[in-house]
Structure 1
Amino acid sequence: MPHSSAPPSGLPALEARLQQDLEWLALPAGRWTPRVQRDGQPVQDVVVIGAGMAGLAAAAALQLQGVHAVLYDRAARDYEGPWATIARMETLRSPKHLTGPALGLPSLTFRAWYEAQFGREAWDALDKIPRLQWMDYLRWYRRVLTLDVRNEHELISLVPRDDGVTALTLSHRGERHTVMARHVVLALGMDAFGGPSLPDVVRDVPQRYWSHTSAPPDYAALKGKRVAVVGGSASAMDAAATSLEAGASEVEILIRRPDFPRFNRTKGVSNPGFRQGYAALPDAWKWQLEHALLTEQIAPPHGSTLRVSRHDNVWFNFSSPVTRIRPRQHDVLVHTPKGDIAVDHVILATGYRLDWAAQPAFSALVPHIKRWGDAFQPTPDQQHEQLTEYPYLNDDFSFQPRSAQAPAAISNVYCFCHPAHLSNGHVIGLIPGISQAARTVAEAIVGKLYVEDRDHHYQGIVAYDDRELRGDEWAPAEPYHQRQASTVS
C-alpha cells in the first residue's frame, strides 16, 4: 500500500514521542551509584573525553542505565567531531538506513529526525545523508537527551592511580583544573594516540606550502592555484574535489599504487554476527583480517571519485609516489618517478599514524598499556609494524595492564576510538556498529561500578525498610486440632 503523503510532524512531535518511548521502557533508570570522594574531592562515575558521535553514544547508553557521564571536548559547542570542521565529503558514505547511535530507539534515529522535518517522500528521494545534516542530527541528539557536554576543554594529562581512580587535568580558556573519575572513556576519534601520518618529504618544506587533511587549508585561498593531492583514499578525493570546487586552476592527484583498489572490503563485515562475534575471534584471525584490509586498502567511494572526475582540470597520476618536494621562490616542485610537477600547494591525504609519544597528555598512561606486540607474534608473511603498536584490549574496550606494576585504574580506562578496531572490530567511529559498541562499554562500566560498590549495595539491601507487609493482611490460624474439634462438634 502506498504511504501517506501527510505533512511532516515536526521535531516537537518527534521529541514528545521519544519521551513517551522512554517512559514506556522505564528509561532512563534512576541514579543508583553512591557519591564518592577522594582526597576531599568529588569523583565522577564516568568521564568521557570527546563529544563526537562515539562519545555521545557512550554517554547516552550510560545515561539510560542510570549512570551520569560528563563529556569534555576541546571544540566549541556544536562543532565536535569532524563533520562540520575537517570533513569535506558531500554525503556520508554509509547507507542512509543504518540506525547509527540510536541505541535501539526508533524515534532517536536519523530517519525519524529527517522525516519529522521533511516528510516521508523526501526520505524516499534521499540517496545518502548530507554531511552537514548529519552534524545537525548529532546536535539534536545531544540536546534531546540532555547530555552533559562541556566544550572548550583540552585534556592536559591523564594519570591512572593505584586506588582505581584516574586524575584528569583539563584546560578551559586558559585555566587548569583537575577532575577525578572512576571510569574514563577515551572517544578521541581517528587521531587517537597519534596524529596525521606525515611523509618525510615535507620535513624541511615550509608549512605555507603544504597541509594535511586533518587540518585542511583554507580552500577559498586555493582559487586560481595549482594543487597537488597526495594519496588515493576517500579523503584524497574529498580534498581534490573541494579544491576544484573552490576554483583551483588545476589539481594533480599523486597515487603511489598502479591503480585504485576496486573494493571496500569493510562493507563485507557489516553484519550483526561480525559486530557481536569479532571480539571472541582468536588473535590470529583478528590479525589476519586487519592485515588483509591494510594490505589491499579501500577503494575511494564511487560518488566521491565522480565528484572529482567531472572536472576537466584534474589528473589522476598512478605509480607516482612523491620522492621529494623542493621549495622554490614562489611555489614547490614535486618530484615523482614519472616527472616533476610545479604546484602552489600540496595537500597530504596520507591518513593517521598511531604514535604513543605524540600526545603528552597520555605520558602517564602509555608505559602501562599492553599492546599487540606484547601479546601476539604474527607469521613472517603478516608482519606489520603499525599493528604491533595497537592496544591489546579487553572485550569491553578497557586497556590491559602491561605488567603487574601498572596502576589499578588502567582497567577502568577505555579505548573507545579508532585504535580499538584490531581488538574489538570496526565498530568505533563507524555508523553501522556504534550502538552495539556503546552498549558494550556502558554495560561493562555499569557492572564494574556495582562490583566496586558491593559493600554499599549490600548495606542498602540489609537496611531496606520499605515494608511490604503491615501484618494486618491475614489472621493466624487456630491450631489444626482445635479447628478439627470445633468442626466435629
Structure 2
Amino acid sequence: MSISTSTTAAASGLATLEERLRDDLLTLGWPAKAWIPPSTRHDLPVHDVIVIGAGQAGLALHVALGQVGIKPVLLDKAPLDFEGPWATTARMETLRSPKELTGPAMGIPSLSFRAWFIAQFGIAAWTELDKIPRLQWMDYLRWYRRVTGADVRNGHEVVAVRPQADGVVEIDVKANGVTATWQTRRLVLATGRDGLGGATIPAFMQAVDKKFWAHSSDEMDYATLAGKHVGVVGAGASAMDSAATALENGAASVDMLIRRKQLPQINKSKGSGVPGLTHGQYLLPDEWKWRIRHYINAQQVPPPHGSTLRVSRHDNAFFNLGCAVQSATVVGDKLHVQTTAGRFVLDFLIISTGFAIDWSLRPEFADIAPHVKLWSSRFTPAAGDEDAELSASPDLGPLFEFQGDLPGIDHIHCFCYPAALSHGTVSGDIPAISDGARKLAQGLASLFYLGDIEQHFAKLQAYAEPELDGTEWTAADSAARIRQLQP
C-alpha cells in the first residue's frame, strides 16, 4: 500500500500522541521510584542491570524495569538508530507478525505501533495496512527508544564477560578504541536470534572462497549480483527474502535449492501461541517442553505467503525441490554446486541455513561457555526425537539465568532466542516480548530485594514518616463514658 500524508500533519499527530503517552506514563507512575541502594566495588560504581543489546528485546526490558524502579544501561555495538537487524541484514518487505500484535508496548496503548502509525497516517491507512513494513518497524523502535528515554550507549562492544564469586559481573567494553571494565550486579543478554552463536555454515561451504558466497544474515550489497546466476540454499523466510532481493537488484537468474520435495505450508508455531504456553512453558515437564519445541522444529516454519510471491513473480526464479546440496567447488570463475538433482553452475551462492548456538563464534563469552549447563546434560530424548538445536540450548533457571559450576554465572540472564526451550518464545519474537520482559524485570526486582534484605530491613526500621501528628483526635474519659452507658 502507499501511505500519503504531509510531513507537517504527521509531526503534529506524533506530537499529540507523545503528549498522550506522557500523561499515560504519569498515570501509571512510570518510571517507578528508585529503591535499590547504590553499590560500589573496589571504589568503583556497580550498575544494577546492564543489558547487552538495544533492539526490541532490550528496549522492552528497559520499560519493564522502569515499571519496578530499576534503570538499566543498554550497550549496543551498532551505531545510533541501527540496533537490531531491521535496517541492516533483514531483507523482508514486511514483518511476518500480524499488525495487531502489541509487541514491546508493555500494555501501554499509546506506546504501541498502532498508536504510532495512526498518529501519523490516520485510521483509514491503518485499516488498509496488511503487514507492517520492515523499515517502518525500525522507525517505530527508534521513536520508542526516544520517548521512553532508554539509556543506550551505542558503539559499545562487549568483548569479555567474567562473573565473580561475590555476585558482581565484570564486563570488558570497547568504545572509541578504548577497552574499560564495567561492573554490574545483573547482566542480561538481549542479543537476538543468534545470541549465543551465529550463522550456520554447512560443511560443504567452509573451504570455498568467500567471494563466491554469503550467508543470508551477512551485510552485503545485493547490487553486485546484477547480471549473475545466483543460487539460494534453503526455503525459509530469509531464503525467500534474499532470493527476492537478488532478483530485484537485477540478477540474471535465481535458483532456489530446496532439500524438501514440498515446501511446508502450515506455520505450526502460530498454533502454539496461546497464553497458557506463553506463561507456562517453564512449568511444563521436560518431556513436554522438548516435545512441543521439537515438533515445531521438525515441521519447519514455511516462508511467508508474501515473501514467496515476491520471488515467484519473477520469470527468472526457479524453485528446485528435492534438490539437496552435496558439495560446492570453484571451477575457474564459476561455482559448481552438486545437488541430488544434478550440478548447477552458478556465479554466486547464498546460503540461508539459519543460526546455531555456537559459543566459539562469540569470543566475548569464552570465560562462561565451558560452565553453562545445557539441555544435553539435563534431558535425553526418545530415539527419533533428537534435536541438535534443543540439545545445545542452555538449561536456564526460572529468571532466564544461566546455571553451571562457575560462581556468579547465575547473575547472567539469557533473554534471547536460545531461551526458547526453557521459557518459550518470550525473549525475542514480537508476539510475547512484553510478557517475557515483565517476567524478567519483576524477577530481578525480587532478587535485588533479597540480595539487599539487611539494608531494606534496616531502612524499614528507621522509617519514621508520621501519618498522624497527634492532633487528629481527643482521648476520651473512658470511666466517664462507661458510667454514661450504664442502664
TM-score, length of structure 2 as denominator length: 0.95
Q: CA deviation at 1:339?
A: 1.6
Distance, in Å, in 2 between the alignment partners of 1:382 and 1:216 is: 35
**1:330 equivalent among 329, 333, 338:** 333
The code of the aligned residue for 1:188 comes to T
Q: CA deviation at 1:479?
A: 4.9
Distance, in Å, in 1 between the alignment partners of 2:224 and 2:214 is: 13
The code of the aligned residue for 1:382 comes to D
Moved more, 339-348 or 434-443: 339-348
Match of 2:417 in 1: 418
Match of 2:100 in 1: 97
**Structure 2 stretches lacking a partner, 5+ long:** 1-8
1:216–1:347 Cα contact (<8 Å) kept: no
**1:64 equivalent among 63, 67, 82:** 67
> What's the RMSD between the two structures over aligned residues?
1.5
Distance, in Å, in 2 between the alignment partners of 1:451 and 1:222 is: 57
Structure 2 residue 299 is matched with structure 1 residue 300: no
Distance, in Å, in 1 between the alignment partners of 2:176 and 2:335 is: 38
1:397–1:424 Cα contact (<8 Å) kept: yes
Distance, in Å, in 1 between the alignment partners of 2:302 and 2:475 is: 79
**2:270 equivalent among 267, 271, 277:** 267
Distance, in Å, in 2 between the alignment partners of 1:296 and 1:45 is: 41
Structure 2 residue 344 is matched with structure 1 residue 345: no
**1:208 equivalent among 211, 214, 219:** 211
1:210–1:348 Cα contact (<8 Å) kept: yes
Secondary structure of 1:86's match? coil
Alpha-carbon displacement from aligned partner over 1:313-363 (angstroms, at most 9, x marks no partner): 011111111111111222211111222111111111010111122211111
Secondary structure of 2:132's match? coil
2:160–2:171 Cα contact (<8 Å) kept: yes
Distance, in Å, in 1 between the alignment partners of 2:484 and 2:320 is: 108
Alpha-carbon displacement from aligned partner over 1:52-79 (angstroms, at most 9, x marks no partner): 1111111111012110100000100100
Match of 2:137 in 1: 134
Distance, in Å, in 1 between the alignment partners of 2:389 and 2:103 is: 29
Alpha-carbon displacement from aligned partner over 1:24-49 (angstroms, at most 9, x marks no partner): 12222111111101111100000000
Secondary structure of 1:150's match? strand
**2:166 equivalent among 157, 163, 173:** 163
**1:233 equivalent among 229, 233, 236:** 236
Distance, in Å, in 1 between the alignment partners of 2:377 and 2:397 is: 14
Match of 1:355 in 2: 358
Q: CA deviation at 1:368?
A: 2.2
Match of 1:4 in 2: none
Count of residues in correspondence between the two structures = 477
Match of 1:458 in 2: 457
Distance, in Å, in 2 between the alignment partners of 1:282 and 1:428 is: 20
Secondary structure of 1:221's match? helix
The code of the aligned residue for 2:54 comes to A
Secondary structure of 2:95's match? coil
Distance, in Å, in 2 between the alignment partners of 1:97 and 1:479 is: 66
Match of 2:6 in 1: none
Secondary structure of 1:380's match? coil
Distance, in Å, in 1 between the alignment partners of 2:64 and 2:34 is: 14
Structure 2 residue 267 is matched with structure 1 residue 258: no
Secondary structure of 1:156's match? strand
The 1:487/1:382 distance shift into structure 2, 3 A limit, reads closer
Match of 2:37 in 1: 34
**Structure 1 stretches lacking a partner, 5+ long:** 1-6
Give identity over the alignment, percent: 48
**2:185 equivalent among 163, 182, 187:** 182
Distance, in Å, in 2 between the alignment partners of 1:365 and 1:447 is: 25
Moved more, 323-332 or 471-480: 471-480
Distance, in Å, in 2 between the alignment partners of 1:262 and 1:61 is: 36
2:88–2:219 Cα contact (<8 Å) kept: no
Match of 1:442 in 2: 441
Match of 2:57 in 1: 54
Match of 1:245 in 2: 248
Secondary structure of 1:89's match? coil
1:220–1:246 Cα contact (<8 Å) kept: yes
Q: CA deviation at 1:173?
A: 2.0
Match of 1:3 in 2: none
Match of 2:47 in 1: 44
Q: How does 1:73-112 map to 2 (within 5 A)?
A: 73-112=76-115
The 1:299/1:479 distance shift into structure 2, 3 A limit, reads closer
Match of 2:395 in 1: 392
Distance, in Å, in 2 between the alignment partners of 1:355 and 1:476 is: 74
Q: CA deviation at 1:457?
A: 1.1
Alpha-carbon displacement from aligned partner over 1:409-458 (angstroms, at most 9, x marks no partner): 22221110010001111222211100000000000001111111111111
Secondary structure of 1:429's match? coil
TM-score, length of structure 1 as denominator length: 0.95
